Amino acid sequence: MSKIFLTDAPVVSNEEVANRIYRLKLRAPEFASENRPGQFINILTNPDGAPLWRRPFSIARISIDIIEIIYKAIGIGTNQMAGLQSGDAANIIGPLGNSFTVDIGERTPLLIGGGLGFAPLVVLRDYFVSRTKRPVLFIGALNADEHYYTDDPDADLNLSTDDGSLGFHGLVTEQLEQYLDEQEAGTEFMAYSCGPEPMMKAIAHICRDREIPLELSIEREMACGIGLCQGCSIEQHLPQKKFALVCKDGPIFNAMHLTFTD
């Protein structure tokens, strides 16, 4: 298990990269050295008042001393975060949770994100690229304004939009199926996904039919974030633990263990 730190991390930058979507860079060298792809941090968005509970965010990217998160301003905490500026500090705990399986032999990594769901997959993409693998990325969004990751010379990047304003016109799952149907028989993949649960369920069906192992990064509203309040449970099939905690047992799960993917 990696060490967990509590620190006031200086804000390096906090840039709006798409419609209400921000990239926050924090200087946190201790986190950068401990993080494994898939882990998250908990941010205290307002040290002086509400909300009292910290908000969880996947670590999207790490360099030597900087961690990056990509978030959408959707509510009280994330709108407070949108006001952070260089020179401020953010109180964070982490890195938390388990991590993706990265030892995949000769398999080709397939990374499939829906909307903001690509955030935890960026760090996984970096991991594979740094080990000379060329991942295949699928990112779907409602429209072009919601896409924040649009260029990647070191990966096979496939973008889709529901309204056809960028890339493939249709659902990310349709583009994924089309791609898999065109691959030579015997090509082996390892798939990873994060996004809305109906999308992850559809991806689980596509992967199950083709015997592709799939790991999911699961999001739940969290209170304590450390396994105390039992507020973030998710149901699994036996013989796995019937109700797992996303904050402690996750956020990464084998898709076939989770009942919602049936």
Chain residues that interact with ligand FES, rule: CB under 6 A? 222-225, 227-232, 245, 247
The stretch near ligand FAD (CB under 6 A) out of 25-33, 71-79, 103-111, 176-184 is 71-79
Nearer CB in complex with ligand FAD: 88/221 = 221
Nearer CB in complex with ligand FAD: 152/197 = 197
Choose which of 116, 204, 234, 255 interacts with ligand FAD (CB under 6 A).
116
Q: Which position's Cβ is nearest ligand FAD? A: 75
Cα distances from 187 to residues 107, 151, 154, in angstroms, run: 8, 25, 20
Nearer CB in complex with ligand FES: 146/219 = 219
Nearer CB in complex with ligand FAD: 51/227 = 51
| Residue of 24, 11, 26, 91 whose CA lies nearest to 55 | 91
Rounded least distance, CB 246 to ligand FES, Å: 6
Per CB under 6 A, 222 contacts ligand FAD: yes
Nearer CB in complex with ligand FES: 230/259 = 230
Rounded least distance, CB 247 to ligand FES, Å: 3
Largest CA distance in the chain: 58
Rounded least distance, CB 230 to ligand FES, Å: 5
Contacted entry of ligand FES, ligand FAD, none for residue 221, CB cut-off 5 to 8 Å set by kind: ligand FAD
Nearer CB in complex with ligand FES: 113/250 = 250
Per CB under 6 A, 69 contacts ligand FAD: yes
Nearer CB in complex with ligand FES: 42/158 = 42
Per CB under 6 A, 58 contacts ligand FAD: yes
Q: How many CA atoms lie within 13 A of 82 on its CB side?
A: 16
Q: Which residues, 135 to 164, sit near ligand FAD by CB under 6 A? A: none
Rounded least distance, CB 204 to ligand FAD, Å: 19
Per CB under 6 A, 113 contacts ligand FAD: no
Q: Cα separation of 64 and 50, whole Å?
A: 33
3-state secondary structure the chain: CCCCEEEEEEEEEEEEEECCEEEEEEECHHHHHHCCCCCEEEEECCCCCCCCCCEEEECCEECCCEEEEEEECCCHHHHHHHCCCECEEEEEEEEECCCCCCCCCCCEEEEEEEHHHHHHHHHHHHHHHHCCCCCEEEEEECCHHHCCCCCCCCCEEEEEECCCCCCEECCHHHHHHHHHHHCCCCCCEEEEEECCHHHHHHHHHHHHHCCCCEEEECCCCCCCCCCCCCCCEEEECCCCCCEEECCCCCCEEEHHHEHHHC
Positions that interact with ligand FAD (CB under 6 A): 40, 51, 55-58, 69-72, 74-78, 116, 119, 219-222, 246, 251
